[in-house]
Amino acid sequence: SKFFSTVCSGVLDDLKKIIVTCEGNIYTIDENNHLNDVKHLVNVIELITWVLGLILLVLFLIIFYKKYKYTWKIFVCSSIMILIGIVLFYLFGLINFNWLFNCFHRLFFSNESWIFEDSSILIRMFPEGLFIDAFERILFSSFIMGFVVFLIGIYLRKQFK
């Protein structure tokens, strides 16, 4: 009858909407929640990076124009400690990256929503190798920045002699 066909077509329209939504989003609810947590973490890290960069720039300008005699020691010593820390962190990552990865997740995510089965779409799209590569790139760029701070210290030492 007409009533039945109207109800069925309404249900079918709803099913089509659900199917399209599921097809447009290939992740499960838990995977989506984790990706949202990651997005939030990345935004926070980006903000902190900009703020710290601005503070470092202001400090450098103050130190440069005030011409403190032993400022270079702060730059050289702190950069050497940072560079040693980066190298040790890298070596530890080579030895046991999986443990480091788990510690990172426990530190930055409040629940265990980051633990997925190997068959998970999220795991298949973001394999461990991707994170190892990202880890190495982050450490490499951090090493370069630490080395630049070291060079600034050497430059300041020559300026204040």
Are the beta carbons of 87 and 147 closer than 8 angstroms?
Answer: no
116: left (phi over 0), alpha (psi -120 to 50) or beta: beta
What pTM value is reported for the model? 0.71
For 125, phi and psi rounded to 5 degrees?
Answer: -80, -25
Q: Where are the alpha helices (DSSP H) in the chain?
A: 2-24, 29-66, 71-108, 121-125, 128-159
Distance of alpha carbon 53 from alpha carbon 50, whole angstroms: 5
Residues contacting residue 89 through CB under 8 Å, at least 6 positions apart: 139
**pLDDT digits 0-9 by tens, 93-149:** 999 999 999 999 999 887 777 888 888 888 888 888 989 999 999 999 999 999 998
Are the beta carbons of 154 and 77 closer than 8 angstroms?
Answer: no
Residues contacting residue 92 through CB under 8 Å, at least 6 positions apart: 100
Burial class (CB in 10 A: 0-12, 13-18, 19+), 32: middle
**pLDDT digits 0-9 by tens, 3-58:** 444 444 444 444 444 333 444 577 888 888 888 888 888 889 889 989 988 998 88
**pLDDT digits 0-9 by tens, 59-68:** 878 877 777 7
